């Protein structure tokens, strides 16, 4: 077993245990491996271990890796497809939107009406659609991206109206657990779950089923609060070295 396979196996067991504790089916929880800062060689090892998609934080890094490993633009991951799906999970500026239109299968960090409209126009030109989640700033921290909770429904309505965008869920990054405690983090995740119920009730909102929440340090709490997608980086790929430029 490769190092990655072993870590994926261990993580899957922890996800299954958290799901069992919450009385949930672990099949309903997707593990999104977050490969940011890690070199393409590590991603190849992950592909060999059966991974079919990667989450990346920076659009340029996503594009560079996708150009090298190939990109499956299909809306649903097909496990027989050799090219991985690429999922943008970090902030996306409008001038980088074309990179996601070229290589991304999914964007989890949609957080403004202008970005939604820009993407819709570029996707229309490319003749394709994109799965999106709205990122919500549930912690209220200035440094965090995402729309304010009270603006989520308004943005959801606008996204639903864009024919090239397919709204599949909501995403959040909670505050650090050591700052707000488990209870504070659980409340942020629960708030996202409540907002999803509201979006599901909108006309055209019925596909907004996913809750992307939980990372290496807090995914068990997120699963307890209803997460359907945990974004896991360091627990799968090891610690990140931000000083080092990713090598390919």
Which stretch in 12-20, 40-48, 198-206, 225-233 sits in contact with ligand PLP by CB under 6 A? 225-233
Distance CA 158, CA 116 (A): 8
Residue from 31, 62, 232, 246 touching ligand PLP (CB under 6 A): that is 232
The strand pairing partners of 130, in sequence order, are: 165
Closer residue to ligand PLP in complex, CB, 55/205:
55
Instruction: Give me the residue whose beta carbon is nearest to ligand PLP.
Output: 233
Does the protein bind ligand PLP through residue 113 (CB under 6 A)? no
Provide, rounded to whole angstroms, the least separation between the CB of residue 204 and ligand PLP: 26
The strand pairing partners of 32, in sequence order, are: 231
| Binding track over 22-61 against ligand PLP, x by CB under 6 A | ------------x-x--------------------x----
Token pair recorded at residue 10: 């261990």
Distance CA 39, CA 122 (A): 29
| Binding track over 74-93 against ligand PLP, x by CB under 6 A | ---------------xx---
Q: Is 234 exposed, middle or buried (0-12, 13-18, 19+ CB in 10 A)?
A: middle
Closer residue to ligand PLP in complex, CB, 152/205:
152
Provide, rounded to whole angstroms, the least separation between the CB of residue 135 and ligand PLP: 8
Pairing outcome for strands 53-56 and 85-88? parallel
Instruction: Reduce the secondary structure of 122-176 to three states and give it as a string.
Output: HHHHHCCCEEEEEEECCCCCCCCCCECHHHHHHHHHHHHCCCCEEEEEEECCCCC
Phi, psi dihedrals of residue 172, rounded to the nearest 5° = -150, 155
Does the protein bind ligand PLP through residue 149 (CB under 6 A)? no
139-176 CB burial, b ≥16 within 10 A, e <16? beeeebebbebebbbebbbbbbebebbbbbbbbbbbbe
Residue from 97, 173, 188, 199 touching ligand PLP (CB under 6 A): that is 173
Residue carrying structure tokens 């907002």: 195
Does the protein bind ligand PLP through residue 172 (CB under 6 A)? no
Provide, rounded to whole angstroms, the least separation between the CB of residue 226 and ligand PLP: 17
Closer residue to ligand PLP in complex, CB, 15/160:
15
Which stretch in 41-49, 77-85, 161-169, 226-234 sits in contact with ligand PLP by CB under 6 A? 226-234
Provide, rounded to whole angstroms, the least separation between the CB of residue 215 and ligand PLP: 4
Token pair recorded at residue 166: 């397919």
Residue 197 near residue 206, CB atoms below 8 Å = no
Give the residues lining the site for ligand PLP (CB under 6 A): 34, 36, 57, 89-90, 173, 215-217, 231-235
């Amino acid at each position: 077993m490769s190092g990655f396979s072993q870590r994926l196996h261990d993580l899957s067991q922890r996800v299954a245990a958290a799901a069992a504790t919450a009385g949930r089916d672990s099949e309903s929880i997707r593990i999104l491996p977050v490969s940011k800062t890690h070199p393409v060689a590590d991603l190849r090892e992950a592909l060999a271990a059966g991974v079919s998609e990667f989450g990346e934080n920076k659009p340029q890094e996503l594009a560079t890796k996708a150009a090298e490993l190939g990109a499956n633009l299909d809306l649903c991951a097909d496990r027989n497809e050799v090219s991985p799906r690429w999922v943008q999970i970090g902030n996306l500026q409008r001038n980088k939107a074309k990179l996601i239109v070229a290589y991304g299968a999914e964007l989890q960090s949609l957080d403004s009406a202008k970005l939604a409209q820009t993407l819709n126009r570029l996707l229309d030109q490319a003749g394709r659609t994109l799965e999106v989640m709205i990122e919500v700033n549930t912690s209220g921290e200035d440094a965090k991206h995402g729309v304010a909770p009270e603006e989520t429904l308004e943005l959801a309505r606008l996204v639903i109206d864009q024919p090239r965008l397919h709204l599949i869920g909501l995403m959040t990054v909670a505050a650090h657990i050591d700052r707000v405690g488990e209870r504070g983090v659980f409340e942020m995740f629960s708030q996202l779950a409540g907002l999803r119920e509201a979006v599901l009730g909108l006309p055209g909102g019925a596909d907004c089923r996913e809750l992307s929440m939980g990372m290496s340090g807090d995914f068990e709490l997120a699963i307890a609060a209803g997460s359907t997608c945990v974004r896991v980086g360091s627990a799968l790929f090891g610690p990140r070295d931000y000083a080092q430029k990713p090598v390919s």
